[in-house]
Amino acid sequence: MSGRALVTGASSGIGAAIAREYARRGVPLILSARRVDRLEALAQELRGQIEVDVIAADLSSPDAPKALCEEIERRGLAVRILVNNAGYGVPGRYLKNDWKTHADFLQVMIGAVSELTWRLLPSIRAQGDGRILNVSSFAALMPAADGQTLYAPVKAFLVRFSEALSLENADRGVHATALCPGFTWSEFHDVTGTRDMMNRLPKRMWLQADDVARAGIDGVERGKTIVVPGLFYKTLYCLVRHLPDAWALKLMARNSSKIRRT
């Protein structure tokens, strides 16, 4: 296999787990995130297995995707696998935060993902067995929730985006997959300030980042468009898909209220 796997948001959580899994499979890496110290530590850990390049990027900047791709080209590297993992959550209802907070969020979650994919797709197609793994969320497959005004919709975009990319690029051997994990142990909830609340959830609802990474990579290699890791979430997804929309929305509204009260 030629070409590298570019993993955005690789400094921690699911992104770091995906990088480790690709390294275990012998795939050379390009790691990108804002926190260079974290990236360098991970790169040092993995360089005994594969070649690793580190490129810092803050994808909330509109100029970052182009600059990242230009640096990849300057270093003479080719991308065969793109993992759009960089992301975070903005807790609270829509009007709680200022517009700059929402604009930065949309740039990272939609703008950067779309532009990186557009810029790197020619290289991915040229490899003959290219892969695009978009890290979405189980929230994308559920009815909208109070307090997830933008998070769930942008994650749903990644699902439809992956489906369209799969259809458009199948003739060149490219597989695109939306990875839709539920609650996963990582720094995500520490960053959003919801760790105490999340710790009250049943253990069966929590996934390990390593398991999520393996499920996503296995899924994109098999050409699956949507991957839902974990038996609990697979079962829940099947149930929700067969509920009438009005019932599902009422169920989500009731549970959203419980979370807010907590």
Active site residues: 151
* CA 30 – CA 202 distance, rounded (Å): 36
Quick one: which of 12, 225, 9, 197 has its CA closest to 91? Answer: 197
**φ and ψ at residue 185, rounded to 5 degrees:** -65, 115
* CB neighbourhood size of 115 (10 A): 18
Which DSSP string do the residues of the chain spell out, in sequence order? --SEEEEETTTSHHHHHHHHHHHHTT--EEEEES-HHHHHHHHHHHTTTS-EEEEE--TTSTTHHHHHHHHHHHTT--EEEEEE-------S-GGGS-HHHHHHHHIIIIIHHHHHHHHHHHHHHHTSS-EEEEE--GGGGS---TT-TTHHHHHHHHHHHHHHHHHHHGGGT-EEEEE---SBSSSHHHHHT-HHHHTTS-GGG-B-HHHHHHHHHHHHHHT-SEE--SHHHHHHHHHHHTS-HHHHHHHHHHHHHHHHH-
